[in-house]
A and B are shown apart, each in its own frame.
Chain A
Amino acid sequence: AQKVTQAQTEISVVEKEDVTLDCVYETRDTTYYLFWYKQPPSGELVFLIRRNSFDEQNEISGRYSWNFQKSTSSFNFTITASQVVDSAVYFCALTRGGSSYKLIFGSGTRLLVRP
């Protein structure tokens, strides 16, 4: 069975601090995809990144970076120099390779960045 665990329910930081959101996944598939989405207070989910199981290179996009480690089944997300606008709920999700339709979501981590 596939499962995504985000153990951090809520994180509170002061602006400009770095923060890492943890994501641990379980799957028996050799081909799979991992995603991160951001849900701001307005409610819609905003796609941040997709990573396939064969690409373990870390990725950086501005203040965002992602660390994918198959050995520990983790796909962690770091925000450097956090800003108030980063306050949101962040979801990690998993899907099978091929023609899979189904995204398995973690329960989300609520990030509060205080001024």
Chain B
Amino acid sequence: DGGITQSPKYLFRKEGQNVTLSCEQNLNHDAMYWYRQDPGQGLRLIYYSQIVNDFQKGDIAEGYSVSREKKESFPLTVTSAQKNPTAFYLCASKQGVGNQPQHFGDGTRLSIL
């Protein structure tokens, strides 16, 4: 089935450690996104990519990094510079540059040890 796969489902980070969240899609979508969701809040955009080898910062990019080497993959690294990384992270993808709906993965819940 076509869809977006995020892994792992749960992730724990030690102080000073970088961790990488995986996002893979087989929908052949051009654009991919990373969002952060905190309890009782909506989603906030971290990074997005509209084409391979190109990505842009969203509203809360500090402490995060991404790469887009392949169309189907958009991994997110949470660096040690992100002082409050505990949150639920959602990856999404969308076809084209118009206003098609974004499709979401199941999310990764990141916690601090």
**Which A residues are within 8 Å of any B CB, using their own CB?**
4, 9, 33, 35, 37, 42-47, 50, 52, 91, 93, 95, 97, 99-103, 105-108
Contact B103 A43 (CB under 8 A): no
**Which B residues are within 8 Å of any A CB, using their own CB?**
31, 33, 40-45, 48, 50, 56, 58, 88, 90, 92, 97-107, 109
- Neighbouring A residues of B41 by C-beta, 8 Å: 107-108
Q: Give A105 to B38 CA distance when docked, in angstroms.
A: 13
- Number of A-B residue pairs, CB cutoff 8 Å, is 58
- Neighbouring B residues of A101 by C-beta, 8 Å: 31, 33, 48, 50, 56, 97
Contact A44 B99 (CB under 8 A): no
* A108-B42 contact, Cβ under 8 Å, with A43-B106, A44-B107: yes
- Neighbouring A residues of B90 by C-beta, 8 Å: 43-45
* A105-B43 contact, Cβ under 8 Å, with A44-B107, A99-B97, A99-B98: yes
- Neighbouring B residues of A100 by C-beta, 8 Å: 99
- Neighbouring B residues of A37 by C-beta, 8 Å: 104
